[in-house]
Amino acid sequence: MHKPDEPAGAHESWEQIVARFARFSGVVGEITDPLTWGLDLEEETVTGTGDDRDPTEERFLRAYVSFVGEAVDVETLRVGTDDPEQIDDIVRAALSGALASPLHSDVPEGAEGPTGADFADAYQDYRSAMRAIVEEVDLAALQRTAFVLDDVSHPCVRVAVRGTVAVYVPVGDRAVIVSGPTDLVDRLDISTAPIRNLLHGDDGPRF
């Protein structure tokens, strides 16, 4: 699951937050009928900084979770890219994030996290697990194939490891990235539509 370094808007004024969402006017990706697949929309937000040096960082994220805890992310890049190397980096990063998602699980309510030496051991275990994920993803073969979006087959870049997949799909001047369990992602109906607040059941984002 995508995990930004810090929450979008953490140091922004209200006006900046509104402007960030306004830049996403147009269509964004979503799972057409998530309940059909046992998925619930857990989060929708804008991530990234909108840095002109790398406009692909600014994304609209819809994060879904299944009744058994499987995570599926649908990200829309406000500005896509035609650079093959950048696309490769983006799709590999999405897969790494999906594989690392269980490592970022919160400590169960009422339980205490590790402290002292136990914390140091847990941190080293985490670093080792992350290195293993990155190394495995870097070695995985990329596929240039097709992905159905809005009931139309689009060219895409796909990479999969350990039953988890990430797919980069160019859509006009934007791009959609879908990541999650391979058997689920391959069956989902993904579509694009203007931003509407699915969490609250009305149009437009709510802050």
Q: Is domain 12-101+124-192 annotated with CATH 3.30.160? A: no
- Give pLDDT, residue 17: 66
- Give pLDDT, residue 111: 42
**What span, in angstroms and rounded, lies between the C-alpha atoms of 96 and 88?**
12
- Give pLDDT, residue 44: 87
- Give pLDDT, residue 11: 61
Please tell me the pTM assigned to this model.
0.78
Dump pLDDT digits (tens) for 78-129: 899 999 999 999 999 999 999 987 765 544 444 445 554 555 556 566 677 7
Q: Where are the domains positioned within the chain?
A: 12-101+124-192
User: Which residue numbers in the chain have pLDDT < 50?
Assistant: 1-9, 106-112, 116, 198-199, 205-207
Match 């990235």 to its residue by tokens. Answer: 177
